[in-house]
Structure 1
């Protein structure tokens, strides 16, 4: 199990349409590894998750609004999928600006399933190799990325890391790659690099 004590991770979502496993599994994994996790939504409201984009599932409480978080308080950003969530989130100017600030600061962004739509909107895909739910392939290629069909991809080019996965079946690889990336960043910071 990863040791993420002292790491602060932000998860952003809208209040409806987030795939249940894609928000709960990373959150629970990070908490079990010792990280602090903050969940933010546009309005700070409770998230109604779904299964397979249509069946209502658990509700997840938000801690704050996206506009009220400072990227300097966090070590990584996690963006869960769900078609409605991802499509709505990419239209939120605060979410787009936040993703850009994480990238500019060199902090990892992990996006699963349809969530790479936010990366496209933020202009973060150019020159990157990514994966996603297969229906985003053309969107990502048209936005300057190279799309591949793998369970997880961690691309650390251009000064920041994007971690992407295709769907809930890839969550084990997604979570462990995020943890490895955070541990590696901690080791590099500890060695004075």
Structure 2
């Protein structure tokens, strides 16, 4: 294990079901492998159900706490995995919205993949940002005031006083993880 991210704390937030497995598990493993402390908070706390795609149940993962108990001030970076059910649940959750706003207001990096940017829309933080996402989310982002949408594996945008890292699909996870690790080194 490398210690290049030792002392860095990452918050990963999810619903309790509908999470795209690799978009949760692979960033957590990569960040822990670099020495970061990763806390997984879910809407209800406890067990979360991951999926491969939208219909195939996979493994369950325990979260460390409830979203309501998490505070941006305790962390350096926020990660929002995708999965349509996960993202749709998070976008409606007031604590998830609060956390995104807290990270943005504090000038901290937020990273979202696949359908995860839906939460960014409902948190009101995409205006002026250029992002990527699962392609079907692009119109929603544009309608919410995003400066643009690009079709690339990872997009970093530092507009409006904070940094946003976005990716499209599980295929983009290596680039997503690399961008997150680089942002954490500088946090």
- If the length of structure 2 is used for normalisation, what is the TM-score? 0.97
Q: Distance in 2 between matches of 1:2 and 1:111?
A: 24
2:99 is equivalent to residue 98 of structure 1: yes
Alignment gaps of 5+ in structure 2: none
What CA deviation, in whole Å up to 9, does each residue of 1:64-104 have, x standing for no partner?
00000111110000000000000011000010011000000
Aligned twin of 2:174: 172
Aligned twin of 2:46: 45
Aligned twin of 1:8: 9
Aligned twin of 1:189: none
SS at match of 1:111: strand
Counterpart of 1:152 (choices 143, 154, 171) is 154
Contact 1:2 1:180 in 2 (8 A): no
What CA deviation, in whole Å up to 9, does each residue of 1:135-168 have, x standing for no partner?
0010001111111100000101111111000000
- Measured after TM superposition, the shift of residue 2 of structure 1 is 7.6
Contact 1:40 1:63 in 2 (8 A): yes
- Measured after TM superposition, the shift of residue 184 of structure 1 is 2.1
Aligned-residue Cα RMSD (Å) equals: 0.9
Aligned twin of 1:141: 142
Superposition pairs of residues 57-68 of structure 1, within 5 angstroms? 57-68=58-69
Contact 1:2 1:179 in 2 (8 A): no
SS at match of 1:124: coil
Counterpart of 2:185 (choices 183, 188, 193) is 183
Contact 1:11 1:77 in 2 (8 A): yes
Aligned twin of 1:163: 165
Aligned twin of 1:29: 30
Q: Distance in 2 between matches of 1:183 and 1:31?
A: 13
- If the length of structure 1 is used for normalisation, what is the TM-score? 0.94
Runs of 4+ in 1 over 3 A off after TM superposition: none
Alignment gaps of 5+ in structure 1: 186-193
Q: Distance in 1 between matches of 2:173 and 2:138?
A: 19
Q: Distance in 2 between matches of 1:21 and 1:104?
A: 29
Contact 1:29 1:175 in 2 (8 A): yes
Q: Distance in 1 between matches of 2:46 and 2:185?
A: 31
Q: Distance in 1 between matches of 2:44 and 2:6?
A: 29
